[in-house]
A and B are shown apart, each in its own frame.
Chain A
Amino acid sequence: MATLLIHAIEQGLAFGIAALGVFLTYRILKFPDLTVDGSFVTGAAIASLLLVNHGIDPFTVLVIAFLAGALAGVITGLLNTKLGITNLLAGVLTMIMLWSINLRIMGKPNLSLLRVDTATKIVEELWAPLGTFPVLVFIALLTLLIKVLLDAFLRTELGFALRATGDSEPMITAHGVNTNTMKVLGLALSNGLVALSGALVAQYSGFADVGMGIGMIVTGLAAVIIGGSLIRSTRVGWMTASVLVGSLIYRIAITLALRYGHVVGFQASDLKLITSLLVILALVVPRIRERRARKVSAC
Chain B
Amino acid sequence: MLTLERVTKAFHSGSDRVVAVEDINLVLDTGQLLTIIGSNGAGKSTILNLIAGSFPPTSGRILLAGRDITPVPAHNRAQRIGRIVQDPLAGTAPTMTVAENLALALKRGRRSLRPALTRRLRSEFRDQLERLDVGLENRLDCAVSLLSGGERQALTVLMATFVPPEVLLLDEHTAALDPHNATMITDLTCQFVERLGLTTLMVTHNMEQAINVGDRLIMMHKGQVIHDMSGEEKRRATVPELVKLFARHRVADDALLLKSPA
Residues in chain A within 8 A of chain B (CB atoms): 153, 155-161, 163-164, 167-168, 170-179, 234, 296-299
For A158, A163, A168, the residue with the greatest tally of chain B CB atoms inside 10 Å of its CB is A168
Is there a chain A Cβ closer than 8 Å to B63's Cβ? no
Is there a chain A Cβ closer than 8 Å to B43's Cβ? no
The answer on a CB contact under 8 Å between B90 and A175 is no
Question: How far, in Å, is B56 (CB) from chain A's closest CB?
Answer: 15
Nearest residue (CB) in A for B110 is: A176
Pick from B74, B89, B113, B142: contact of A157, CB below 8 A: B113
Question: How far, in Å, is A240 (CB) from chain B's closest CB?
Answer: 15
For A296, the chain B residues whose CB sits under 8 A away are: 146
Pick from A168, A176, A299: contact of B94, CB below 8 A: A168
A234 to B100, CA, bound (A): 11
CB-defined A-B contacts under 8 Å, sample of 6:
A160-B111, A163-B95, A164-B104, A171-B93, A172-B93, A176-B107
The answer on a CB contact under 8 Å between A155 and B104 is no
The answer on a CB contact under 8 Å between A234 and B95 is yes
Pick from A155, A174, A177, A234: contact of B143, CB below 8 A: A234
The answer on a CB contact under 8 Å between A157 and B90 is no
A102 to B64, CA, bound (A): 51
Task: Known A164-B93, A234-B96; judge A155-B115 contact (CB<8 A).
Answer: yes
Task: Known A155-B115, A168-B93, A170-B85; judge A299-B75 contact (CB<8 A).
Answer: no
The answer on a CB contact under 8 Å between B112 and A157 is yes
The answer on a CB contact under 8 Å between B89 and A168 is yes
A34 to B118, CA, bound (A): 36
For B75, the chain A residues whose CB sits under 8 A away are: 173, 176-179
For A175, the chain B residues whose CB sits under 8 A away are: 78, 104-105, 107-108, 159
Within 8 A of A (CB), among B214-241: none
Is there a chain A Cβ closer than 8 Å to B150's Cβ? no
Judged by DSSP, the binding face of A is: helix
Within 8 A of A (CB), among B105-140: 105, 107-117, 139
The answer on a CB contact under 8 Å between B79 and A156 is no
For B83, the chain A residues whose CB sits under 8 A away are: 174
Residues in chain B within 8 A of chain A (CB atoms): 52, 73-76, 78-79, 82-83, 85, 89-97, 100, 103-105, 107-117, 139, 142-143, 146, 159-160
Nearest residue (CB) in A for B95 is: A167
Pick from B78, B94, B160: contact of A167, CB below 8 A: B94
For B146, the chain A residues whose CB sits under 8 A away are: 296-299
Question: How far, in Å, is B52 (CB) from chain A's closest CB?
Answer: 8
For A299, the chain B residues whose CB sits under 8 A away are: 139, 142-143, 146
Nearest residue (CB) in B for A233 is: B143
For B113, the chain A residues whose CB sits under 8 A away are: 153, 156-158
The answer on a CB contact under 8 Å between A170 and B93 is no
Nearest residue (CB) in A for B81 is: A174
The answer on a CB contact under 8 Å between A173 and B96 is no
For A171, the chain B residues whose CB sits under 8 A away are: 90-93
A167 to B107, CA, bound (A): 18
For A177, the chain B residues whose CB sits under 8 A away are: 75, 78, 109, 111
A173 to B79, CA, bound (A): 10
The answer on a CB contact under 8 Å between B111 and A174 is no
Pick from A158, A179, A234: contact of B111, CB below 8 A: A158
| 4 nearest A-B residue pairs (beta carbon) | A167-B93, A176-B109, A157-B111, A176-B78
Pick from A161, A179, A234: contact of B97, CB below 8 A: A234
